[in-house]
Amino acid sequence: MGPKQFHDVVMAFPETEFTKSYGQPAYKAFGKFLTRLRKEDDSVVLGLVPLDEREMLCEAEPETFHFTDHYKNYPYVLARLKRIDVKRLRGYLTRQWRHNAPKTWLKAFDAGAPLPPVTKKAPRPRARKTR
């Protein structure tokens, strides 16, 4: 899979946008982190992967799945873009996308009912340090 196909798969999820997260290009769904493509190793960041599942994936398919020290203590796994297939990618993204979706919105989506508007929260102002 190439970057264009990856972008198309991610953007097919409703309420998804291409934006930035911690200064890096990323995708958000409902205003929350969904995934990003790491340019440094052409890997996709996949969330909501329990540590035991990640360990099993990395052991069974090290050519596809890996992680860096940065993600060591967090439920994320990295998947090499050229090695992961669309169906599997969509499965992992669906897990994170459903987690991000507001419960009332998701209930209507699952029922095929009209979707309520999504209200995005304004970013919280940063707290000023006082001395």
- Does 58 fall in a domain? yes
Tell me whether residue 88 is in a domain.
Answer: yes
Structural domains of the chain, count: 1
Query: Helix (H, G, I), strand (E, B), or coil: what is residue 83?
Result: coil
pTM of the full structure: 0.87
Whole-number Å distance between alpha carbons of 4 and 73:
30
Q: Quote the CA–CA distance of 1 and 31 in Å, as a whole number.
A: 26
State which residues form the domain around 85. 3-103
Tokens 């020290």 correspond to what residue?
A: 69
Domain CATH code at residue 73: 3.90.1150.30
Identify whether 49 is part of a domain. yes
Q: How many CB atoms lie within 10 A of CB 38?
A: 16
Has residue 128 been placed in a domain? no
Q: List the pLDDT tens digit at each of the 131 positions of the chain.
A: 999 999 999 999 999 999 999 999 999 999 999 999 999 999 999 999 999 999 999 999 999 999 999 999 999 999 999 999 999 999 999 999 999 999 999 999 999 999 888 876 666 666 666 66
In a domain, 130, yes or no: no
